A and B are shown apart, each in its own frame.
Chain A
Amino acid sequence: MQMSVESRQFEKVSAETPVLELRDITKTFPGVKALDGVSLELYPGQVTALIGENGAGKSTLVKTLTGIYQPDEGAIHVAGEPVVFATAQDASAAGITAIHQETVLFDELTVAENIFIGHAPRGRFGLIDWKIMRTRAAEILTRIGAALDPDTPLRDLGIASKHLVAIARALSVDARVVVMDEPTAALSHKEIEELYELVDRLKAEGRAILFISHKFDEVFRIADRYTVFRDGTHVGAGLMADVTESDLVKMMVGRDVNQIFPERAKAPGDEVLKVVGYAHPTEFEDITFTLRRGEILGFYGLVGAGRSEVMQALFGITKPSKGVTRIDGQIKVIRSPAEAVEAGIVYVPEDRGKQGAVIGLPIFQNVTLPSLSQTSRSGFLRLSEEFALARAYTERLDLRAAALDQDVGNLSGGNQQKVVIAKWLATKPRVIILDEPTKGIDIGSKAAVHAFMAELAAERLSVIMVSSEIPEVLGMSDRVIVMREGLIAAELEGDDLTPETLVRHAAGIGESA
């Protein structure tokens, strides 16, 4: 790869030859085939949009082409020459840079230091040459039209400016390929316009850009080409000029039903929970919905649509500035998770590692943690009752553990999740909120979680399932609420529940398209 990465090699590349080409890349993780023979071509001076649902393999692809993952099969070509990126440094040396959703920058350093960290210009005695560093930083910032002082500490900048610094950093190593992973997710409309202008400038300089976005208006605004992934496979690629929004939506979601969901008799009962007019100054507004006994209510939306935030407000972790919660028609004020649990609402969060099990406590103590008032007499815990409670619920979930006083940290991920669910069931809840319940687990465990959810609903428990996986949302929910940018975009049930309607409402595409 040494030869191919030298800059003179790039000069031979014309607009017709891809500067970067991935051929038949396959990447397997234990239990999951994240990428299955996918291909991607990036052309100099063009923006290629990479489109796909959550979990379609976009992030894995980005990690593969930036050298963080190594593909199991397939080849990467830079300017026609085969290369191997053994490390992230190799990819960076080949002129490939990625700007991530969460930019990796240092708040306490200045703009110039951030741009040149790791490759600062050196002067005599190998010391950093501040003068050259500042001048070059200022040059790059001017080139991308960023009105930033190289000496400003990064912590004083907003998110949009930080993105500009990240882009300047990419240019400081003379990146030929710039990967932008949802760069507009946290930006305001004006900042997005500025980003578009910047992308145009990068195009004019002959750089190839891979633009990852969920938003169709953006894709049509700036992309020249598209590539669509679905479930880790390549389903289509071509020129933007040749497709319509609805073509892209079809490619994204059109799938064979290869997952089987449990059959359920859908007979929701009385209303259990009603949320009226929840609002939060920055996260969501006008959130009103109901939940009935024995119902599975799906919450679909793009990442960052505000679904988890609403659930956290419902659970008393954050406070909505407005809104009323009714349980069985009675107004309940929920100011803390403890009050939520008491009111019969439990929340199994998305990040189970961080928010789920308490590593260091044995299994039975993890299970009884929210139910200690149940297992204690006059303020003292009864170990025998704790064991009994823990045994009842772990057995029900078929937990595989040698002993209940074993440290929960020694269990596998799937079994830890069972402990967390057992913990919540032990509180005998009426409403259980599952946030991305099958994220990052293998197909077999997914089926088990789905079967279990069906069982809960059959026992007349009400389930709210926040999920970004369309098949899961369609296969499990009685009713689906779609959120977009902090608002409820649609409430769908019955025949309205199709992959297309979900994607349209989530992405904000008009019905006419």
Chain B
Amino acid sequence: MSLLKSREALLGGAILVLLVLIASRFPGFVAPDNLVRVFTDTSPLLILALGQTVVILTRCIDLSVAANLALTGMVCAMLNAALPGLPVAVILVVAVALGAVMGMVNGLLVWTLSIPSIVVTLGTMTIYRGIIFLISNGAWVNAHEMSDAFTGFPRASILGLPVLAWFGILAAVGMMVMISRTPLGRAFYAVGGNPHAAVYTGISVGKTQFWAFTLSGALAGLCGYLWVARYAVAYVDIAGGFELEVVAACVIGGISIAGGAGTILGTILGALFLGIVKNALPVVDVSPFWQMAISGTAIIVAVTLNNRNSKGKGRIILRRAQDQASEGATV
């Protein structure tokens, strides 16, 4: 437990060091306004990473999140273009529901056919992108076709924060509560930590994975609307390759790809780390291509640290070591 805590502390420390380094040369970067801007910009990544976290906790992976986002976004944009008077609340419901359905498709395939999730979502990723092309004929939906209410909603400010940022915060808080305080949240860890034991405990592994995918899909659908409204454009390739950034945020945040280990706080920090790097590089005048190298390095460092932590968990045979371990546990 102390190791887990220290992992998040380490990542939090890294983020602080990063901010201090940037601030030493560009104090403007850490001005409250700019930090809000950075957090808002990171919110879609954060929301998707929260959904991905529960999927990875159950020993699966969801590669279809970006395609899900793009398809939902396109549907929302076309809906708005066709029926400009439709309230945003209805569009939000449609987005979340459509995303959830796409997640359920993934979940059902994993659950009932026992196909490895990486294969299922690799397939649905391509299918969802293909559907966007079919419904849009490859055409874009541009800003002038969207209503002001549609594009204005994510930017609207509540208590000094844009709605988009509030969604990020809400998703994070909701997810923390769900993970720590509901039987489903507990089941995610049980299924990933020891699927055999979960079965004997009366927890269905497949059903739990199904709900993880549904959750991930619903959050991707939510992001679909937010994304399209924020950038005021929808086309086939939006958020192309974004799923890898989402997985990266989880891994940097300490979510174990082997399942069953990691915290929501870790994911939040992982997403913030990537968001800060992405936003800071143009400021410090470094090519955005460095962003890839930096996030790649961060992934490897994070995974190495996680592996180190999980090692040495073998049998404690030495009496001396046993005493130390039990002392450590009491503290």
Contact = CB atoms under 8 A, between A and B. Distances in A.
Given A359-B193, A359-B194, A372-B183, A406 B202 contact: no
A458 B199 CA distance: 29
Interface string A86-100: 000000000000000
Given A338-B204, A359-B194, A423-B201, A381 B1 contact: no
A380 B190 contact: no
Given A355-B197, A360-B260, A403 B330 contact: yes
A70 B308 CA distance: 32
Contacts of B311: none
B195 to A, nearest CB: 9
A317 interface: yes
Given A338-B204, A381-B182, A381-B183, A405 B193 contact: no
Nearest to B260: A360
B326 A376 contact: no
Contacts of B203: 338, 369
B204 A356 contact: no
A358 B325 CA distance: 19
Contacts of A403: 329-330
Find the residue from B194, B196, B325 having the highest chain A CB count within 10 A.
B194
Interface residues of A, number: 40
A379 to B, nearest CB: 6
Contact of A369 (B181, B190, B313): B190
A362 B202 contact: no
A340 interface: yes
B200 interface: yes
Nearest to B185: A381
A336 interface: yes
B261 interface: yes
A365 B201 CA distance: 12
A163 to B, nearest CB: 28
B197 A380 contact: no
B202 A381 contact: no
Interface string A352-381: 001111111110010001101100100111
B167 interface: no
Interface in A95-129: none
Interface in B1-45: 1
Nearest to A351: B196
Nearest to A340: B202
A337 B1 contact: no
A245 interface: no
B180 to A, nearest CB: 8
B189 interface: yes
A81 to B, nearest CB: 36
Interface in B162-206: 177, 180-183, 186, 189-190, 193-194, 196-204
Contacts of B196: 349, 351, 354-355
Contacts of A360: 189, 193-194, 260-261
B202 A356 contact: no
A145 interface: no
A94 B216 CA distance: 58
B183 A376 contact: yes
B1 A405 contact: yes
B193 A373 contact: no
A172 to B, nearest CB: 36
Given A337-B200, A338-B204, A409-B313, A361 B190 contact: yes
A18 to B, nearest CB: 37
Given A381-B182, A407-B1, A410-B329, A336 B202 contact: yes
Contacts of B194: 354-360
Given A358-B189, A407-B1, A410-B325, A379 B201 contact: no
A257 interface: no
Interface string B239-265: 000000000000000000000110000
Interface in B313-331: 313, 325-326, 329-330
A318 to B, nearest CB: 11
A260 interface: no
A372 to B, nearest CB: 4
A372 B182 CA distance: 9
A381 B201 contact: no
Contacts of A370: 201-202
Contacts of B260: 358, 360
A372 B186 contact: yes
Nearest to A373: B183
A379 B189 contact: no
A341 interface: yes
Interface in A319-369: 336-342, 347, 349, 351, 354-362, 365, 369
A409 B194 CA distance: 12
23 contacts: A317-B199, A337-B202, A354-B196, A354-B197, A355-B197, A356-B200, A358-B190, A358-B193, A358-B194, A360-B260, A361-B189, A361-B190, A369-B190, A369-B203, A380-B177, A381-B183, A383-B181, A401-B329, A402-B330, A406-B1, A410-B313, A410-B325, A410-B329
9 closest residue pairs by CB, A with B: A338-B202, A402-B329, A372-B183, A355-B196, A360-B193, A358-B193, A358-B194, A402-B330, A337-B202
